[in-house]
Amino acid sequence: MGQRSPLVTLAAAAVGLVALLVVNSTQTGTLASPPAAAPATATPSPSPEVPQTTPPPSPTATPSRQQVVAVFTGRTTGGEATLAIAVKGGRAVAYVCDGRSVEAWLTGTHDGGRLALRSKSGERLSATQSAEAVTGTVTVRGRQLSFTIDKADPPAGLYRARTSRNTIGWIVLPDGSQVGVDNDGTPAPAPPLDAASGTATVGGAPVTATSITGDETF
């Protein structure tokens, strides 16, 4: 074989060197680590919407059973006596009198519109109450009297005064007329009552009367 000339050998070496550089460059690009990705920024989850609730309205205060007061006044069916009944919650007070010498105070219960009252001396009252009237019977001195009496607005109503010597009862009717008994052991007609001020004069001395509401005990 013929020998290669130095120039051919040098050219071949140069070509080989160039090829080697190209290979290295290609491998370096392939193996290089990819640039680190920027850390992902967490997107905050939207807060769940809290439904806006309107607070329920405060319940309207209603008067308790013991605060309900009603007074009924009138005369017995035959006009024998005048009667007043005061009702408050589950209690009731009645006063019956003829304005001269007969009278009785009765107390008892009011349940579901039914009244059952009794006095210390044995008089009894049994009645049924509606919104505007009371109908029933009252027994006084052994005599049973029927009645229907109507609801009355102040100053009509039932009043009572007590001193060291006597007890006085008044029934004030819607027309302003009064019937009552002053009892100091010897019953007599009651003196006039000023219903507006709740005062009367007994034996020259002023006396203050109390409006009976129905829950008193005698």
Mean pLDDT to the nearest integer, 83-111 = 97
pLDDT at 84 over 50: yes
For residue 148, count other CB atoms closer than 10 A to its CB.
14
Mean pLDDT to the nearest integer, 127-150 = 97
**pLDDT top residue among 109 and 15:** 109
pLDDT at 38 over 80: no
- Asked if residue 94 lies in contact with residue 81, where contact means CB atoms within 8 angstroms, the answer is no
- Asked if residue 159 lies in contact with residue 209, where contact means CB atoms within 8 angstroms, the answer is yes
Phi-psi region of 137 (alpha: psi -120 to 50; beta: other; left: phi over 0): beta
pLDDT at 44 over 90: no
d(CA 93, CA 203) in angstroms, rounded, equals 27
**pLDDT top residue among 35 and 120:** 120
pLDDT at 195 over 50: yes
For residue 3, count other CB atoms closer than 10 A to its CB.
7
Low-confidence winner among 64-78, 82-96, 102-116 (lowest mean pLDDT): 64-78
- Asked if residue 87 lies in contact with residue 108, where contact means CB atoms within 8 angstroms, the answer is no
| For the chain, percent of residues with pLDDT exceeding 70 | 69
Question: Is pTM, for the whole model, over 0.75?
Answer: no
| pLDDT for residue 111 | 95
| Mean pLDDT value across the chain | 81
Burial letters 15-37, b for 16+ CB under 10 A, else e: eeeeeeeeeeeeeeeeeeeeeee
In the chain, where are the structural domains located? 66-211
pLDDT at 185 over 60: yes
**pLDDT top residue among 86 and 27:** 86
d(CA 19, CA 35) in angstroms, rounded, equals 28
